[in-house]
Structure 1
Amino acid sequence: MDRYQLQHNLFYWYGMAGVFLLGFFTADTYLSEVMGPSGGAAASLEDILDGMVYDSTFLLILVSTLLSVILGQEFSSRTVGLEISAGHSRKSVFVSKAVVYLAAFHFMTFIYPVAGCIREYPRFGIARPGDFFCHALKAFSYSVLLNSAVFLLTICVCCWSKSMKKAVGVTAGTVFVLSLYLGYGMMLGFPVAFLPIYQIRVVVSTPQLWQPEGILVGVVWAGVFFLMAWKIFKKSDFR
């Protein structure tokens, strides 16, 4: 049911189209500065991919806000309560929504760098396809883990507020504040290693496949928000 509802939600597909166009038309901006002023010029399609994943913090604000709009609608319209009243267990409803929404919005974030790579493919080509796709798999795998923290925060807010308007406001504000802290924290030397949105930058800017600190940060944040969301959902009154 969740997958069917999302497939027919125009907000989601408009968002998907918007993210693709954003990635396609901003790809050229990564040619001179791949990962910020110290990143140097792009020399391959891998550099474009890394730069767009590295610079995806602002995208998380947009995507997580859209997630709060769509999932928040289900709470505001009492769709969740109707599913539970129909005999579905709270656990099955919660897990199905978490899985479907996480998968759908991770796919949306992937569209951004994919669109950029499509735009820049005629310029760079792919010299070693195997190496490129292994590199992309690393970037996307860590993105799934670390972005899950932000998306599960959004799901947690939706379960707590049970209102689209409140969920949008709290989600957009929280992710924006975290992004501001990341930007100023990196400039002023504040501790930022605990942030998933910082660890994404570390992963794509270093060649090592195994990134234990990034894995730990992602697992802790995602685990905490998943458990919080489930605890709130389990005790909520949907009547």
Structure 2
Amino acid sequence: MHNLLKMNRYSLLRSRIYWCGCAGTFLLGLLTGSTYETDVLGAEGGIAVTLSDIFIGMVYDSTFLLIIASSLLALVLGREFSWRTINQEVCAGHGRGAVFAGKVITYLPAYNLMVILYPFAGCIREASRFGLIDGGDFLSVIIKAVLYSFLLNSAAFLYAVFFCCLFRNLAKAIAFTAGLNFVLSLYLGYGMKLGLPLSFLPIYQIRKAVSTQSLFVPSCWLTAGVYASVMIFLSWRTFRKCDLK
């Protein structure tokens, strides 16, 4: 009975954290949407002329949100280890493979949705100014951006999954997840100015995907595939061997 109450309390807390994150991201998009009228694809990206430009610009510039969203994921999943709710799931007879797959399948789409709310909110803010005269193009832009965002931004969330499995400690998982994503974001910023190698970064590939007209960008798929394969393998290997008794 005590364990059931503890799991119910955790589920309520997890939902509150997630929906507060979604609400904050959406509000931030509403507040900052107008700033992309003259700041499409970075400071040198030109003036927005359609709603598609606003959407692309906000996806291009949403790297900072990955630090916040991945840290929230580390907070939520880290608590499952700290509060031993995952231990209880395993001890209740659920296979480790099923538990691990369930966490990945649940959390990756959920936190990708949190990040993509940002450009959607900005477009709602700017719809009255630009209208939907490019309706067909706007729809194709959304589909492409959502697809590549899910593929490439998932790397940041898989870092959180890995650190949670590795440390099984809430504070360490958040610190390492936020720290790694922050360092990679700094490297991206300075790397673009200094001409450093960037192609290996998922956060660079998402910018490449949305700033090109091509629907199929092979380097993005390759980067996403490599990161997903490596991070899921490392996370599962760590989770499979960790002590959950």
TM-score in terms of structure 2 length: 0.94
Name which of structure 1's ranges 87-96 and 124-133 shifts more when overlaid on structure 2: 124-133
> When the two structures are aligned, how many residues end up with a matched partner?
238
The amino acid across from 2:215 in the alignment is: L
Aligned-pair identity in percent equals: 52
Q: How far apart, CA to CA, are the structure 2 residues paired with 1:17 and 1:174? A: 25
Q: 1:136-192 deviations in whole A, cap 9, x for unaligned?
A: 100110111001111111101111010111100000000000000011111111101
Alignment of 1:1-239 (within 5 A): 5=11, 9-239=15-245
CA deviation profile, 1:27-56 (whole Å, cap 9, x unmatched) = 011011111122001111000000000001
The structural deviation recorded for 1:127 is 1.1
Q: Is the CA contact (8 Å cut-off) linking 2:50 and 2:134 kept in structure 1?
A: no
Letter in 2 for 1:189: G
One-letter code of the match for 2:229?
G
Which SS does the other structure have where 2:41 is aligned? coil
Cα displacement (A) at 1:95 = 0.2
Query: For the residues of structure 1 that align with 2:134 and 2:56, how far apart are their CA atoms?
Result: 16
Q: Which runs of 5+ in 1 are unaligned?
A: none
Q: Which runs of 5+ in 2 are unaligned?
A: 1-6
Contact 2:52 2:137 in 1 (8 A): no
- What CA distance in whole angstroms lies between the structure 2 residues aligned with 1:8 and 1:36? 34
User: Once superposed, which parts of structure 1, at least 4 consecutive aligned residues long, lie more than 4 Å away?
Assistant: none
Deviations along 1:180-221, one digit per CA (max 9) or x if unpaired, are 001111111110111000001111111011100111011101
- Give the TM-score taking structure 1 as reference length: 0.96
